[in-house]
Every structure is written in structure tokens, then in C-alpha cells.
């Protein structure tokens, strides 16, 4: 009984300490301390969910405790947690099978848009790390066959869009650092491979890699690491590849609620704001317009997602203007204001994950 009493007193102390610390941090009643601009939940369920979310973050040592759980499970042999493979030194998202209705909707909207616009159009689906880095996936793990999926989509586009197969190229270079360790994105090295393949397919000559200077900006841990904080995982090396040949200057303009402009493809100062991926073009916005100050020949319209951030800095070197439209962020009004007819070429470039599970690409039909 003595042990029970001591246990109980200690447990009560722990619970009260946790509660009090949450109050002190101002998060106990999440709803009362909602960040500015966040709408208050309208139902009891919403209120409880908000409070629960705040409490999970506000508990002292929450991150350490979560990491301890993940590492404990890893030690017990769980090499896949929260749909993320822990392969020893890197994290790879296990992309789930596609939603067939979503995929069909995306394909129909793209075909319809291409038909209406009447410009040379290209489609490129970029496989995720789980499809390319198969040798690193835990043995016997059941991963979705993205190669077959890409082939099926391309078969549907046949004759209407020119399709760019980057799977084989990426697969051949799977021993290189082409995907981040802690982020579901291509590194600039992977981005260059995609650029090389895409440019050839579009009938242009790609710039060789030695025309770019490689600049290391430091180490960082990406979004996957926030989900699965496993101590075995190596940090990522953030690097940028500015054009070193000279004679190329760019202006990148972001059109969202506020217009932002950078006189470089790699606004390095954003690193200090804790947004490592924004070093590429300044991140994503509804419309990102890249213009080369020097005279070049063509203009390219790109409908794409975050995966294109590492490809576009290379691609921009060959165009007078490249405009990236993020259909996930753009409003119908912004979309209707665009003049897509003025572009010479159109590219639909999405990660397979986006194309399989999100109807973002289908929003092109709203134009």
C-alpha cells in the first residue's frame, strides 16, 4: 500500500505539474488563446479537438517524449511509423495507393485545358523517394508501384500531351543524393536530373552541370523529421546551384496577398527566417513569375507543386519567362485574371503523391 501511495502522489504531482505548465504557457484552454486570425471552433467537437491539439504541443518536453516514443518503437523493430519508412539514415514517405476518382478528375481537367489552350503541352509526373530509392525501403515492405501508375497516366495523355519520363533517370541515379533525407522533395541534384531530361524532351539543349556553382548553406531537418523524429536519421545538406556562366540575371515575383520580389533565384536571407525550402525561388505562392533580364526566346507556363522548386532554377535559364502556378493556393479570381494564351509552352509537373491524392491539378478546369 505504501508503494501505491507514493506512486499516486508522484502521479498526481506529474499530472498537476503538466496541467499548471500548460496554463502558464497559455495553452490550457486552447480556444481562449487562439492565435490571432484563427477562427474559434463552432462545435463542441471542434473545441475539444482544438484544446487537445494545443495540449499535445504545450506539454513540457512534448517533442522529447514524442521522439522517445518513436525511437523506442524503432528499437523494437518498427521501421515504418506514421506512414514514414525509417531506413537507417533517412526518412521516406510511404505513398499510399491512388484515389482513382481523383486521378481521373485530374487527367480529364488537364486534357480539357490543353485542348482549349492549343499550345504545345507537356506532362511530367515526378516519382517520390519510396519509388526510386527502393533499395533502402525495409525488406518485405509493401510499396505502391508508381512506375506503373505513371505509365498508365501517360497512356491516357498519349497524343495530346508530350510526356516526360523521369522515373528511369532518377532510378539510375538512386545511389546519389537526389532526395532529401528528411523531406519528401528532390534535392537540387535530383532537380538537375529532372531538368536535364525535361529539357531534352522539350527539344532544347540542357546546360551542363559544370555551368552551375554549388554553394552549401548548412544542415537542416525537414518536415518528415517533424513527424518522425528518429535519432538515427542524418540531417540534410542544403545546397543551391546558382548559374556561374555569367550573363544571366533573374527577377522572381510572387503574386499572393502581397507581392514579393527577389532579384535572385535563391533568396538566401530567407534561411534566417527558419524556412530552408524558401531559399529556392522564395518558396511557393499562387503565382511565381520568373523573368530573365537578358533576352531569351520563349515563355513557359508551369502548373506544379513544391517538387518543382528544385527544378525551376535550372529551367529558368532557358526561358525569357517562366510562370509557376500553384493551383492549390490560387483563387478563382486570380486564375481568371491570368492570360495563359500568351505563353509559348505549357508544362504540368506534379509529384505522383499530389497527382494520386489531391484534386489540385484538376482546378485548372476552373480557368
Partner 1 sequence: MTFFSMTFLLVFLPAGLLLYYGTPNRFKNYTLLGLSLLFYAALGPLELLVMAASVVFDYMMASLIRYHQGNSRVTRTALFLSVLKSVSLILFCMVRSQLEGYSMPVGILVYTLSATGYVVDLYRGEAPYERSLCNFLLYNCFFGKIFVGPYVKYSLIRPQLRKKQLSLSSISTGLVLLIQGIAKKVVLADNLLLTYRKVAQVDASRASATTLSSWLLLLSLVLGIYFTLSAYCDVARGLGQIFCFKLPRNFSYPLHSSSVREFVNHFNTTLVEYLRRYVYRPLGGGRYGVVSDCFNTLLYMLLFGVWFSFSPNLLLFGGVLALFMLGERYLYGRLLRRLPAVFGRVYTYAALLVSFCLPAKGTPAGSWQLLKNLFSFHQERLVNDKIVYILSQSYWVLLLGLVLSFALLPKLSALLKRRAPAAANILSVFFNVGLLVVSVMFII
Interface stretch with partner 1, choices 62-70, 128-136, 174-182, 317-325 (CB under 8 A): 62-70
296 near partner 1 (CB under 8 A)? no
Q: What is the DSSP string of 88-113?
A: SS-EEE-PPPP-HHHHHHHHHHHHHH
Q: Which of 302, 309, 304 shows the shortest CA–CA distance to 355?
A: 304
Any long-range contacts for 269-275 (C-beta under 8 Å, 24+ apart)?
271/217, 271/218, 271/238
- Candidates 101, 140, 257, 339: give the one binding partner 1 (CB under 8 A): 140
Least spacing, CB of residue 226 vs partner 1, in Å = 14
Measured from the CB atom, is 140 or 216 closer to partner 1? 140
* Residue of 56, 160, 200, 293 interacting with partner 1 (CB under 8 A): 56
Asked whether position 273 contacts partner 1 by CB under 8 A, the answer is no
Q: Characterize the bridge pairing of strands 299-304 and 236-240.
A: unpaired
The sheet with strand 80-81 has its strands ordered as 80-81, 84-86, 91-93
Closest approach of partner 1 to the CB of residue 29, in Å:
8
Instruction: State in angstroms the smallest separation of the CB of 301 from partner 1.
Output: 41
Contact set for partner 1, span 77-116 (CB under 8 A):
77-80
CA distance 165 to 163: 6
In angstroms, rounded to a whole number, what is the distance separating the alpha carbons of residues 127 and 145? 10
Residue whose C-alpha is closest to residue 211's, from 170, 243, 239, 179: 243
Q: Give whichever of 15 and 366 is closer to partner 1, judged by the CB atom.
A: 15
Minimum Å distance from CB 83 to partner 1?
Answer: 12
Q: Which chain residues interact with partner 1 by CB under 8 A?
A: 1-12, 14-16, 18-19, 22, 28-29, 44-45, 48, 51-52, 55-56, 59, 62, 65-66, 68-69, 72, 76-80, 138-142
Amino acid at each position: 500500500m505504501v508503494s501505491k501511495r507514493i506512486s499516486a502522489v508522484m502521479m498526481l504531482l506529474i499530472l498537476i505539474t503538466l496541467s499548471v505548465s500548460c496554463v502558464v504557457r497559455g495553452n490550457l484552454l486552447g480556444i481562449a488563446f487562439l492565435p490571432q486570425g484563427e477562427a474559434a471552433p463552432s462545435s463542441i467537437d471542434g473545441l475539444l479537438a482544438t484544446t487537445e491539439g494545443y495540449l499535445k504541443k504545450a506539454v513540457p518536453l512534448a517533442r522529447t517524449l514524442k521522439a522517445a516514443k518513436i525511437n523506442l518503437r524503432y528499437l523494437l523493430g518498427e521501421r515504418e511509423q506514421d506512414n514514414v519508412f525509417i531506413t537507417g539514415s533517412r526518412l521516406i514517405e510511404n505513398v499510399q495507393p491512388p484515389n482513382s476518382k481523383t486521378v481521373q478528375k485530374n487527367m480529364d481537367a488537364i486534357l480539357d485545358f490543353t485542348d482549349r489552350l492549343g499550345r504545345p503541352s507537356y506532362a511530367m509526373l515526378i516519382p517520390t523517394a519510396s519509388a526510386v530509392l527502393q533499395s533502402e525501403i525495409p525488406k518485405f515492405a509493401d510499396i505502391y508501384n508508381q512506375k506503373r501508375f505513371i505509365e498508365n497516366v501517360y497512356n491516357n495523355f498519349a497524343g495530346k500531351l508530350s510526356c516526360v519520363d523521369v522515373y528511369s533517370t532518377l532510378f539510375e541515379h538512386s545511389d546519389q543524393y537526389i532526395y532529401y533525407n528528411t523531406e519528401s522533395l528532390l534535392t537540387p541534384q535530383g532537380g538537375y536530373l529532372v531538368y536535364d531530361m525535361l529539357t531534352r524532351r522539350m527539344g532544347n539543349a540542357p546546360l551542363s552541370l559544370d555551368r552551375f556553382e554549388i554553394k552549401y548553406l548548412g544542415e537542416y531537418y525537414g518536415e518528415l523529421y517533424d513527424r518522425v523524429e528518429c535519432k538515427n536519421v542524418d540531417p540534410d545538406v542544403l545546397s543551391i546551384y546558382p548559374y556561374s556562366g555569367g550573363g544571366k540575371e533573374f527577377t522572381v515575383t510572387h503574386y499572393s496577398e502581397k507581392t514579393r520580389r527577389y532579384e535572385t533565384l535563391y533568396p538566401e536571407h530567407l534561411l534566417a527566417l527558419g524556412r530552408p525550402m524558401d531559399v529556392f525561388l522564395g518558396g511557393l505562392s499562387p503565382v511565381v513569375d520568373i523573368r530573365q533580364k537578358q533576352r531569351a526566346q520563349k515563355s513557359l507556363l508551369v502548373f506544379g507543386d513544391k517538387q518543382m522548386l528544385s527544378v525551376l532554377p535550372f529551367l529558368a535559364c532557358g526561358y525569357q519567362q517562366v510562370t509557376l502556378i500553384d493551383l492549390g493556393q490560387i483563387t478563382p479570381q486570380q486564375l481568371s485574371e491570368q492570360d495563359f494564351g500568351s505563353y509559348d509552352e505549357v508544362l504540368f509537373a506534379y509529384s505522383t503523391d499530389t497527382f494520386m491524392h489531391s484534386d489540385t491539378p484538376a482546378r485548372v478546369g476552373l480557368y
